[in-house]
Amino acid sequence: MAYSGRPPKDNKHGRGYTVDWNDVPAVDYTGPSPDLPEYPEFEWNFRVREWWEMVRRMPHCALWSEMDWDFALVTAFMWQDWWRNYFSDETVHANKSTEIRRREDQIGTTAEARRKLRIRYVEPAELAKSEPEATPAAGGAKVTNIQSRRNRLAG
């Protein structure tokens, strides 16, 4: 027996369908990225170095600006402080751990974080197939065929 009442909303939780996913080729990023700076006062923890090497190879780093790299570098400093506290007699405060987790979500280090950021890794061959056909318009500019856009939106 069917339930009576109003039918469910099409856009659950207030999210509309106007937000597109960022399709990123699923290959390690090899472009320019900063190294961890060297300081005479301290040496980077080996776990922070490993974390930084993983972060700088994430495929979606190709989308990052200089400010995004700086944000990731500040997160590395936070990890350094966290590990310093962990291996010393000092207490590791929960608010430090929470802030690092939040920053990692904003960077997109996990699959769940990338889902929230609407970043999707796709095979390069799939990405090439999904590119819309572009036709030269007046003045030599390439314009996407409107029918291919309609087909994409219609599913």
Domain ranges of the chain: 20-122, 131-155
User: pLDDT digit string (tens) for 71-113?
Assistant: 999 999 999 998 888 878 777 778 889 999 999 999 999 999 9
Q: How far apart are CA 42 and CA 63, in angstroms?
A: 31
Q: How many CB atoms lie within 10 A of CB 70?
A: 12
Would you state the pLDDT for residue 90?
73
What are the DSSP E strand ranges found in the chain? 22-25, 119-122, 134-136, 142-144
Residue percentage of the chain with pLDDT more than 70: 77
32-65: pLDDT as tens digits: 999 999 988 889 999 999 999 999 999 999 999 9
Q: Which residue has the higher pLDDT, 58 or 146?
A: 58
pLDDT band at 17, cuts 50/70/90?
low
Q: CA quadruple 143, 123, 51, 102: dihedral positive or negative?
A: positive
Q: Which of 25-29, 52-56, 68-72 is least confident?
A: 25-29
